[in-house]
Amino acid sequence: MTIKDIARLAGVSVSTVSRVLNDHPDVSDTAKEKVRAIVKEYNYIPNTSARELGKSTSENIGVVVRGMSNPFYTKIITEIGDKIERAGYTMVMQQIGANDDEIFAAAKMERDKKLLGIIFLGGRLNYSKKQLSSINVPFVCCTFNNQYGDVDKSDYSSVCIDDNQAAHDAVEYLYKEGHRKIAVLLAGPEDGSVSQVRFEGYIRALKDFEIELDENLIISINSFNIADAYEGMKTWLAEKHEFTALFAISDNMAMGAMKAIREAGMNVPNDVAVIAIDGIEASEYMNPVLTTLCQPMEKMGAEAVRLMVDIIKGEKTHKHILLPTILRQGESLKMVQ
Amino acid sequence: MTIKDIARLAGVSVSTVSRVLNDHPDVSDTAKEKVRAIVKEYNYIPNTSARELGKSTSENIGVVVRGMSNPFYTKIITEIGDKIERAGYTMVMQQIGANDDEIFAAAKMERDKKLLGIIFLGGRLNYSKKQLSSINVPFVCCTFNNQYGDVDKSDYSSVCIDDNQAAHDAVEYLYKEGHRKIAVLLAGPEDGSVSQVRFEGYIRALKDFEIELDENLIISINSFNIADAYEGMKTWLAEKHEFTALFAISDNMAMGAMKAIREAGMNVPNDVAVIAIDGIEASEYMNPVLTTLCQPMEKMGAEAVRLMVDIIKGEKTHKHILLPTILRQGESLKMVQ
DNA sequence: CTGAAAGCGCTAACAA
DNA sequence: TTGTTAGCGCTTTCAG
């Protein structure tokens, strides 16, 4: 079944079929009905490749998401899709694996789908100018920026929380409750990811509060996995370091860690206070409920689209937005208000 | 940049470029090198649409997944991708929203990508023959079958657990520990989804154990969401029904329920025993760890691909595989071995 | 081993 | 309002 068959069956030309398929004006009602009837009868589905190939422009905005099924992105994606739709564009989403190259994926998608712009959801923080030269449309980084790369701030937009400050805040909350032996659970550590930024915030906080950095309290694992966090924490706990609080650089890792702490016979928050950053849904259902600094997911998605659309519509200057986190006062850290 | 440009720049014909791009044999090393150099220099990326349009066949197996970011599917997908690759085919994955029509998505993908077959991951249990007529390649249902539809068992393959029996088993575990007032948390209830099947298993178990069905112990919510489960459970608990155990039809829902139970001042497992079905990773990190009947995810994915490949290779008869669940003995149900 | 040329199924001028 | 036709960028015979 091709558009040609439909045209023949409906007794019209292919262009007429194409027109009704694409809701173009200037088609007689009779023709419209006729075509629609045949399309329905034969269960005809236009070929996407041919469609995209034939078209010279699009109203597509690409979204490339690193890591499938990251619950953290789900809400943001929903919001992004919604806002893109509302602005009259079409979202084209592409999920890529943890080890895939988002720049390549974006470049490919840009050409294939004739994108007007690209929103990156999660990604490396160290793109180089050269790598990015393969992308020829404006892009905005959502949930991260490119602080370790050599790309000019004026060449792209971004919207994210101030990860360094969030980590600083987290440590400050612990500090204010009297904690001085604050362990940190991170991935990397020097992996050029958001983990590193947050770790730097931890370091900065220690300095500000005049706590000496204790290498023994740095728990470094190789991924952001909950299982790895659990194992890493377990191993570390077996070494019997003295500590009263844990700052996990992500909710997910905190969840793994809390299980290890529990199994080691310690109580959260009585023996060990735990705080993290992210605010994913699952950590709300932990026992105790995780105290964490939430990223404003909806807001983030909405802002990313706003920036994107502005630029598509002619705005010349790229912007970089830092959104504040919101404290979720759970049960993993006793706070004396 | 098109293949034509590359051809010109490399001083060869487009067909030669196409050949080296697709690793065809019968290309001189000189030509190969020349083309590759130009491709690299100009950062050329072939257009996917044109490629797919031009090709007459493919080695693609489609996977349509209902609901993005369902952690339950992540492992299965990884396994499926792996096995497809290993069998020499290419996986083409398509995620669809909770309310999208998987049949349509599959039919579209089948034509666009020239699929050899389709694996459905999650989906309705009530396809009709008519709806399925738009799909012209073999397909296998993974994690569900089509028991409420009118499609011949001989027209498709499936691999899943015996959901009815799993529910029966769950109730049996509770029964054996002395529980008689067993509440059930489900979605629907008559929604034609896996929730219904499991609910039927619950009913059957009650009959077998001569427990009278108590309508008051049926907690029905509108989705599989953790948040809805939490709210639903909370509301139900406020009604002060007498019960000693809860069978949740999914891990996710059990997680929401456990928080509600905890907040109502009851202890799991001492006041209320909880058991569920699925075995997702997150429920392993709950406190208490959820006792649940795990679906054999890897095995499921592997079997789905095996069935698919067999059929592609000429196997005539469709098969329906029921895989056993594996009990994860957590802490939400005290078992006296 | 290489090139010319005919599609793949659709869109979009351009004519009518 | 409709039809004709030239691409879109690639693959794939078929000659050479």
Chain A residues whose beta carbon lies within 8 Å of the beta carbon of residue B45 = 104, 107-108, 111, 134
- Through-space separation of residue A55 CA and nucleotide D4 C1' in angstroms: 18
Of B70, B73, B256, the CB nearest to A285: B256
Q: Closest residue of B to A284, CA-based? A: B259
3-state secondary structure string across chain A: CCHHHHHHHHCCCHHHHHHHHCCCCCCCHHHHHHHHHHHHHHCCCCCHHHHHHHCCCCCEEEEEEECCCCHHHHHHHHHHHHHHHHCCCEEEEEEECCCCCHHHHHHHHHHHHCCCEEEEECCCCCCCHHHHCCCCCCEEEECCCCCCCCCCHHHCEEEEECHHHHHHHHHHHHHHCCCCCEEEEEECCCCCCHHHHHHHHHHHHHHHCCCCCCHHHEEEECCCCHHHHHHHHHHHHHCCCCCCEEEECCHHHHHHHHHHHHHCCCCCCCCCEEEEEECCCHHHHCCCCCEEEECCHHHHHHHHHHHHHHHHCCCCCCCEEEECCEEECCCCCCCCC
Measured in angstroms, the CA of A281 and the nearest CA of chain B are apart by: 9
pLDDT for A206 equals: 98
pLDDT for B130 equals: 86
Indicate the CATH number for domain A56-162+297-324: 3.40.50.2300
Q: Which nucleotide is nearest to A4 (CA to C1')?
A: C9
- Through-space separation of residue B92 CA and nucleotide D11 C1' in angstroms: 20
- Through-space separation of residue A2 CA and nucleotide C10 C1' in angstroms: 9
Q: Which nucleotide is nearest to A45 (CA to C1')?
A: C9
pLDDT for B9 equals: 96
pLDDT confidence of B337, banded at 50, 70, 90?
A: low
Q: What is the mean pLDDT of residues B209-228?
A: 96
d(CA B3, CA A326): 51
User: Which position has the higher pLDDT, B337 or A136?
Assistant: A136
What is the DSSP secondary structure assignment for residue B277, as one 8-state letter? E
d(CA B150, CA B134): 15
Q: Where along chain B do the CATH 3.40.50.2300 domains lie?
A: 56-162+297-324, 163-294
Residue pair A130/A150 in contact (Cβ under 8 Å)? The answer is: no
Q: Class for domain B163-294, per CATH?
A: alpha beta
pLDDT for A131 equals: 85
A87 touches strand C (CB under 7 A): no
Return per-residue pLDDT of chain A as tens, 337 residues. Answer: 999 999 999 999 999 999 999 999 889 999 999 999 999 999 999 999 999 999 989 999 999 998 767 778 989 999 999 999 999 999 999 999 888 899 999 999 999 999 999 999 988 778 888 888 999 999 999 999 888 788 899 999 999 999 999 999 999 999 999 999 999 999 987 777 899 999 999 999 999 999 999 999 999 999 999 999 999 999 999 999 999 999 999 999 999 999 999 999 999 999 999 999 999 999 999 999 999 999 999 999 999 999 999 999 999 999 999 999 999 999 999 987 6
Chain B residues whose beta carbon lies within 8 Å of the beta carbon of residue A95 = 68, 95
Q: Do A48 and B287 touch (CB under 8 A)?
A: no
Q: Which two tokens stand for residue B47?
A: 């257009």
Measured in angstroms, the CA of A284 and the nearest CA of chain B are apart by: 9
Q: Do A230 and B259 touch (CB under 8 A)?
A: no
Whether the predicted pLDDT of B204 surpasses 70: yes
Question: At CB < 8 A and 24+ separation, what contacts does B239-243 make?
Answer: B241/B183, B241/B216, B241/B217, B242/B181, B243/B181, B243/B182, B243/B183, B243/B217, B243/B272
pTM: 0.93
Q: What is the mean pLDDT of residues B139-149?
A: 89
Chain B residues whose beta carbon lies within 8 Å of the beta carbon of residue A255 = 282, 285
Measured in angstroms, the CA of A192 and the nearest CA of chain B are apart by: 25
Q: What is the mean pLDDT of residues B57-64?
A: 96
Of A47, A70, A95, the CB nearest to B112: A47
**Mean pLDDT, all residues of chain B:** 94
pLDDT for A335 equals: 84
pLDDT confidence of B124, banded at 50, 70, 90?
A: confident
- pLDDT tens for B26-42 read 899 999 999 999 999 99
Name every residue whose Cβ is closer than 8 Å to that of residue A298 and which is 6 or more positions away in sequence.
Answer: A75, A76, A79
pLDDT for A337 equals: 61
